[in-house]
Structure 1
Amino acid sequence: MDAIYDTIENRYKVGLFESPTGTGKTLSVICSTMTWLRNYKRDHVFDIGADPDESSDDEPEWVKSAYRSSIVDKSKEKLKEFETHLDLVEKSHGGKMRAESAGKQKVKRRQIQQEDANFLPDDYHDTDSGSIEAQNVKLNREIESLMNHQVNQAKEYSCKTKIFFSSRTHSQLNQFSSQLRLTSFDASFDDMSERTKYLPIGSRKQLCINEKVSKRGDHSINDACIDLQKTKDGCSYLTKDQSLVNEFSDLSLSRIRDIEDLAILGTELHACPYYSVRQGLDSAEIVSLPYQLLFQKSSREAWGLDIKDAIVIIDEAHNVVDSITSLYAVKITISQLNKVIQSLKVYLSKFAKRLNSGNRINITKLTKICKVLAKFMELEQPSPGAEVKPEDIFENSTGDLVNIHKLDEYLTKSKIAYKIESYMEKTETEFSTTTPVLFEIAKFLRALTNPGKEGKFYWDKTGDEFELRYMLLDPSVIFNEIVTQARCVLLCGGTMEPMSDFSEFLIPQVARDQIKKFSCQHIIPESNLEVYTVDKWGNDSEFDFSFQKREDVSQIDRLGQFILQICQVVPHGIVVFFSSYNFLYKVVHQWQKTSTFQKISTLKTIFQEPTSSSHVDSVLSEYSNAINTSKRGAILFSVVGGKLSEGINFSDNLSRAVLMVGLPYPNAFSGEIVAKRAFIEAQVVEKGGTPQKAKECSNEYYENLCMRAINQSIGRCIRHANDYALIYLVDKRYKQPRIQNKLSQWVKNRLVFEGNIIGSSAKFFSNK
């Protein structure tokens, strides 16, 4: 807590904080940042509330002192009024039993038959003030005016300096809300109490309560919402009753609510949570939001999020680089293009006579561009990672005559992708698809119009199909927008090592003396965790699971013998991580050819990670049940970076031992890795580095990807203060100091250099 408080107070630009799961990371972040904010508001109340036109340096000191006192008193009174107002609103809401009345209320809604007209875009004209875009802008302005209108004097309270907490998943944000409920803080002024004013915000998918819209996919839900607002009846939840919007806003701040609570509140009040929650943003002290709302400038602007001088907390920060990259990544395949071409053909033949010339012309242009892309992909025989220049795509074609900027503008304004996808979905033709292909094509064209030097088009391959991809190679460009505006950015996570990647690839623009690093030890007793590096077994032959040697049959057999002995001394559950599904299958196949697999199954019930996400829960349930109902326990063969290596906790008996087999380097020949390493090397040379230095930097990046995956996987086993487990790092390379130094501190500090691994393991559990 002290380290975080000092980082903010001493105006470090970025803080890197590693705190293992179970150490109270979230509560520490909440308490330190909220304590700082309340102190800051108390100490800077004059700066916040003063009007520079009402005070002068020429005035006597007693006048200035009286003025300062009046500002403090005025600010305190305003806050008191607001707190009292929220108390009354909360009490009134409970008394009225809105939930019950909302259940009884019958809202008449006409059932509107989905006619073909619903699939038609508005007439399109490039410069028509009455076009769909103009109407959307007008509608958004009306909504903004509605949300910003202030009715009550008590609503004038605002909190200028805020805390923004962002995490990757919905469940992590809900966990933050639940932790926040456990806290209370001293008020910004003496002699009063003050609640924590918190707002969770999210996407339409999380906040929309209109079933017509919320059932849509992630890509089309925004267009569906705008489309519904334009209909004669509009959306019944988007109320123009300002008092209802005020009530929703006040209730959302009156106590700590998570995103589901806001949806329930919206249903009770019959008010749209997605739009109504915005009115409370100005008064909120702390706002939680998913990565995509924070990392996309357009999303921040759409929500009116002002991060200037804010404290920005990013949880699970080991995901940040990948998350930013994936937000801006896009890929297309020939099969996708062919589906889109056929869909456009079907749509145009159906509606040609009902489309105005602007729509017909642009749909024809879109078809032409898709055909040019398909032809380019068919003619090429690329290697994964090979760069593609946008101008090469249109060489020897007339596709370059199409103004892609204008076409992109049409796709954005007309919502044609949503219209066509909706029509194909309704008709259920052979060209309809569960994936929003046309949205991907539109996103790809958008990347073509604004490639930028920080991004790159390149070839990749999945299975037998080639893909044309765009990847943001330098996420620091996006992240720097946040760092520049915020007072301080706190990057927090349970497994942040190796930390050097953050300095090199996420915040290279930040001076090193403006970065604070802190790594917290685990709260478990020293005796509750031991980490073994297993470099050899059996006939003293070394374990080397590098790509070239990992399929050696004798080595796989020795691994089986080692696991057999581990199964005899480790109680309950064991999780074994392999570098890939392919390697896991080959190991299991080899053990099945010998007696190893059968011998392991007599000691532990064997489970294997499924490749399908839909089967993960059932496998985990069966694994847990086998451990809880049988004395012999179970063993789970899993994959690093798979369905079970992140986000699922193997606490207590679910994992009394973790085995990491080899070092899980990603595929060195994948297009993404080849493109990224080439970019890193080019950047080093551009800054004056030698080719050798460039190669070292790209190798370091590649190795760090592997080590971060290791830290994330083995961190699954210790989840609270009383937990205990053993970790086995099975490969001779784990003996190297360079590799050990990239392990999480709490893992590295518990390395055991013991020859008799099985004997030490048995002793470890005999004392538990």
Structure 2
Amino acid sequence: AGAAGAAAAAGAGAGGAADGTFSFDLPGAGSFSYVDAGRDGDGGRATPASGTATPDAPKSLGDGVPAAPVPAGATFTGPRAPTIIYASRTHSQLSQVVKELSRTRYQPKLSLLGSREQLCVHPKVSQETGGRLNYNCRALTTDGKCGFKNRLDSFLAAEGEAAPIRRGQDDDGHTMDIEDLAKYGREKNVCPYFLSREDSIQGGADIVLLPYNYLVDPAARAGLKIALQDSVVIFDEAHNLESVAGSAASFDLTAADIAGCIDELDQAVALLQSGAATAATLAAGAGVDSEGGESNLKAEEANRLKNILLEMEELIDKTEVGPGGKTFPGSFVFTFFGRWNINYKTKKVVLEMIEKVVDMLMAQNATAGGLALSRLASAIESVFRYKDNMRDIIEHYRVHLHQPEKRGGDRGRRSTSFLGGRGGASNGKTFSFWCFSPGVAIRELKLLGIRSLLLTSGTLSPMDSFAAELMTPFPVRLENAHVISPEQVVVCAVGAGPTNVRLNSSYQNRDKPEYKSELGRAVVNFCRVVPDGLLVFFASYSALEGAVGYWHEDGTWARIGKLKHPFVEPRSSSELNALMTDYRRRIDDPSPPAIGPRGAVFFAVCRGKVSEGLDFADRYGRAVVITGLPYAPAKDPHVLLKKQVLDERVRAAARQAPSSKGRAGTARTAEAPVTTINGHTWYNQQAARAVNQAIGRVIRHVSDYGSIVLLDERFASTAQRDRISLWLRNRIEVPSKFGHTMGRLTAFYKANSGRPIPPPKREVLGESRSASRDPSPVAYDDAGAGATAASIIERNRLSAVRRTAAPVAKPVASKPAPSLLQALVEGEEAGGGGGGGGAGARA
């Protein structure tokens, strides 16, 4: 099927035209190149482009940077050290990184990249969103009519080469996050978006901070000026990488999308036929002949594209699909688009035509604005991005035609949240092109020549399966214990409630009145003993809403409200910030009532907005309760196909190595074997990672404390407990009765009641710097704790510079702060000296 699909797509390049197809005078049909991009042909040794490791000892850190220790205070000349590219899921997470970096003695040149929506300071353009904002920005800047961008060159010339902005700092020397950068642009009357992308800032940075999608999405990556060759790429919060990378390589074309494209083309044809689309109305010159002022987009061309979409809509609509949809090989996508002569050779013409239509609609302020056509263009670009990716598409992609469920409730939401898809419910069928191997995106990065790839997160475990998903061997792995002491946490797996009704939130059990009543009684008891903030996580939005609705009826909600102020996670992100502010305000209340609610309880969802990236340190999160296992919908087509693809991969690995048996296989790469996992194992591990991520909302630093309650009888099993994060696994207690759990919690909070809460400010590690801009809780409450944590890092880290000579003396205090590379060298030398607490604290 793969070969037939390739031949059909390739052969379409020279075909004739019928109404509704593209016909161009093109050379004969091209051929697909079946290239195994994962093999470097050097006898099995991983080259620097492979990114993860090399068996051979490194000769240097980079061109011209010696591997031997460098004397303290030495000045580095010649080629620069490798650029560090630091990616995380959201800008709020990157802002936390900026805060932590500003607390250290290192002062690297920093570049922080954001979107136009985050950084535009134009008073009119910034009021727009999405595609319209991007279009208006391009229109003004192309015509030289944006004063904020026009002032950039003179501003940078006046600031000079040594200006703080060239290091990512404001005039006071503070390292800026994305909000600071936007504020800086407004104050200086320059565009922060283009300022951050200046060659002298982005190109000269030691560290570049950006969101995931800027790296894993080829379209977004193409717009950057970052040289990935020989760079060090770090993905923080890397447990999200699987879904983000898979989503970047996938698309869903819904019936609403195709209908929207047809409507937009109707508007375009009407504008072109009426003569309204002229140079006078197309402010950016979109689709306009630059010499004559006449639109170079013809109504006939727009009509031809419309006819293609009408035929596409009809073909999809008349294709019979069963209850679970109909699945095709990944290569079928070429057959599908090839019906209308859309292929590698014609894609450029098609995409240019769509871009002209979209720009014309934007310029005319048309109702639709070209959003549906933009989605179509993105889909075509995804399919025909690389001519040599046929092997990947055959192995790792599937085309799925299905009828989304008409109920717009939890199931559809859970599905897209779980696997990072972009589809949604509609009345017609959806054409989906899904990538089931996020390693495709990671391999693209490796082929671009990155030197090292580092993934870090609190919930990567089990690492074998994570490496398998990314199709990348990681020979260097570290799974740490926590920095806290045993008396700062208690973990209980509870299988029954106060009246001894078993607690099991499986799909078959969670809607039973007796379960919801018992769950409510347990939560009421926890509200009595847990001080300040309490977090309660459910497996899904429907489980949460079902329980809360039931509690409103049976009086449980009123009982909870007498003990703590209740909050419920909203489905809409726009409502969350105000809710979080009120939640913190309730906990920070300096004079709570003598009788009435004290503190607050937040009911949230695993894999929801609260479970990811929000900080509930200290009083904001003294306990987290997990009410069930957040399995993805078992019958969701994306989940079913994912499990099927993994099972096929295991069988293929078993055929290559007949002696291997069990739940995993081994697939060889040019670098090292990569273990594969079957669909059932993956399914369980994804639920476990969501649990571990929710657990991570509490105990946020070395002085914090809190309890974790696993409120489902399934957590008592050895299999489920083994999936909990390593730092908690051996601390899980299984009380025989609910009363024993309450006694354990009461004793725990009594023992920790005298533990000091860290002040909101602290000195920077290594040197004195104002911390007034950061009111968040401290990470270390005294020098000893800092030294201990630093010594743990020192014992486990890999050398940035190989130690080949005796350590040299530390630099004297009067010397200026070192560059990032110098600081790493100093840390290496200090580690080699064996000098106790001082070296640990500085490291």
TM-score surpassing 0.5? yes
Looking at structure 2, the residues matched to 198 and 394 of structure 1 have their Cα atoms a distance apart, in angstroms, of 43
Instruction: Please say if 1:315 is aligned against 2:228.
Output: no
Looking at structure 2, the residues matched to 652 and 77 of structure 1 have their Cα atoms a distance apart, in angstroms, of 43
SS in 1 for 2:340: helix
**How far apart are 1:412 and its partner, in Å?**
4.1
Instruction: Please say if 1:615 is aligned against 2:575.
Output: yes
Conservation of the 8 A alpha-carbon contact between 2:646 and 2:677: no
Partner AA of 1:339 in structure 2: G
**How far apart are 1:478 and its partner, in Å?**
1.5
Conservation of the 8 A alpha-carbon contact between 2:528 and 2:563: yes
Residue of 431, 446, 451 corresponding to 1:487: 451
For 2:327, the equivalent position in structure 1 comes to 387
Instruction: Please say if 1:626 is aligned against 2:590.
Output: no
Partner AA of 2:110 in structure 1: Y
Give the gaps of 5 or more residues in structure 2.
1-47, 170-174, 278-293, 408-425, 665-675, 754-843
Looking at structure 2, the residues matched to 589 and 681 of structure 1 have their Cα atoms a distance apart, in angstroms, of 40
Conservation of the 8 A alpha-carbon contact between 2:117 and 2:133: yes
Looking at structure 2, the residues matched to 225 and 470 of structure 1 have their Cα atoms a distance apart, in angstroms, of 31
Q: Aligned pairs, how many? A: 618
**How far apart are 1:381 and its partner, in Å?**
4.7
**How far apart are 1:45 and its partner, in Å?**
4.0
For 2:433, the equivalent position in structure 1 comes to 470
1:361-381 CA-to-partner distances (Å, cap 9, x unmatched) read 432232123212322333245
**How far apart are 1:398 and its partner, in Å?**
10
- Larger CA deviation: 632-641 vs 683-692: 683-692
Alignment of 1:153-552 (within 5 A): 159-185=80-106, 196-211=108-123, 213-231=125-143, 233=145, 237-238=149-150, 241=153, 244=156, 247=159, 250-251=162-163, 252-254=165-167, 256=169, 257-258=175-176, 259-263=178-182, 268=188, 270=190, 273-274=193-194, 277-352=198-273, 353=275, 359-382=298-321, 383-384=323-324, 386-388=326-328, 399-401=339-341, 406-412=346-352, 415-416=355-356, 418-423=358-363, 426-428=365-367, 432=368, 436-449=371-384, 452-453=393-394, 454-460=396-402, 461-464=404-407, 465=426, 466-483=429-446, 485-506=449-470, 508-510=471-473, 514-538=474-498, 540-552=500-512
SS in 2 for 1:662: coil
Looking at structure 1, the residues matched to 373 and 161 of structure 2 have their Cα atoms a distance apart, in angstroms, of 37
> Larger % of helix: which?
1
Looking at structure 1, the residues matched to 743 and 88 of structure 2 have their Cα atoms a distance apart, in angstroms, of 42
SS in 1 for 2:210: strand
Give the gaps of 5 or more residues in structure 1.
1-9, 16-36, 49-68, 80-156, 186-194
Residue of 729, 734, 746 corresponding to 2:727: 746
User: CA 1:281/1:565 → structure 2, altered by over 3 Å: closer, same or farther?
Assistant: closer
Instruction: Please say if 1:678 is aligned against 2:644.
Output: yes
**How far apart are 1:46 and its partner, in Å?**
6.3
Instruction: Please say if 1:585 is aligned against 2:527.
Output: no
- Larger CA deviation: 302-311 vs 273-282: 273-282
1:410-458 CA-to-partner distances (Å, cap 9, x unmatched) read 424763253244156x244xxx37x922211221233444672333322
For 1:127, the equivalent position in structure 2 comes to none
- Larger CA deviation: 653-662 vs 255-264: 255-264
- Larger CA deviation: 441-450 vs 485-494: 441-450
Instruction: Please say if 1:712 is aligned against 2:704.
Output: no
Partner AA of 2:696 in structure 1: G
User: CA 1:586/1:358 → structure 2, altered by over 3 Å: closer, same or farther?
Assistant: closer
1:354-410 CA-to-partner distances (Å, cap 9, x unmatched) read 565654343223212321232233324534463246897899999535668525544
Instruction: Please say if 1:762 is aligned against 2:773.
Output: no
Instruction: Please say if 1:569 is aligned against 2:533.
Output: no
User: CA 1:560/1:361 → structure 2, altered by over 3 Å: closer, same or farther?
Assistant: same
User: CA 1:372/1:677 → structure 2, altered by over 3 Å: closer, same or farther?
Assistant: farther
Looking at structure 1, the residues matched to 475 and 703 of structure 2 have their Cα atoms a distance apart, in angstroms, of 33
**How far apart are 1:315 and its partner, in Å?**
0.9
1:153-212 CA-to-partner distances (Å, cap 9, x unmatched) read xxxx75242222111211222222232222235xxxxxxxxx522222334444554456
**How far apart are 1:570 and its partner, in Å?**
2.1
**How far apart are 1:638 and its partner, in Å?**
1.5
For 1:554, the equivalent position in structure 2 comes to 514
Conservation of the 8 A alpha-carbon contact between 1:657 and 1:727: yes
Conservation of the 8 A alpha-carbon contact between 1:408 and 1:445: no
**How far apart are 1:625 and its partner, in Å?**
3.4
SS in 2 for 1:665: coil
Looking at structure 1, the residues matched to 488 and 564 of structure 2 have their Cα atoms a distance apart, in angstroms, of 23
User: CA 1:683/1:233 → structure 2, altered by over 3 Å: closer, same or farther?
Assistant: same
Q: Percent identity?
A: 25
Conservation of the 8 A alpha-carbon contact between 2:50 and 2:450: no
Conservation of the 8 A alpha-carbon contact between 1:532 and 1:752: yes
Conservation of the 8 A alpha-carbon contact between 1:294 and 1:300: yes
Partner AA of 2:299 in structure 1: R
Partner AA of 2:139 in structure 1: D
SS in 2 for 1:519: coil
Conservation of the 8 A alpha-carbon contact between 1:498 and 1:707: no
Partner AA of 1:253 in structure 2: R
- Larger CA deviation: 677-686 vs 206-215: 206-215
Please give the TM-score of this superposition, normalised by the length of structure 1: 0.72
1:226-264 CA-to-partner distances (Å, cap 9, x unmatched) read 433443757662469589469576533346443455555
**How far apart are 1:578 and its partner, in Å?**
1.0
Conservation of the 8 A alpha-carbon contact between 1:421 and 1:436: no
Partner AA of 1:478 in structure 2: A
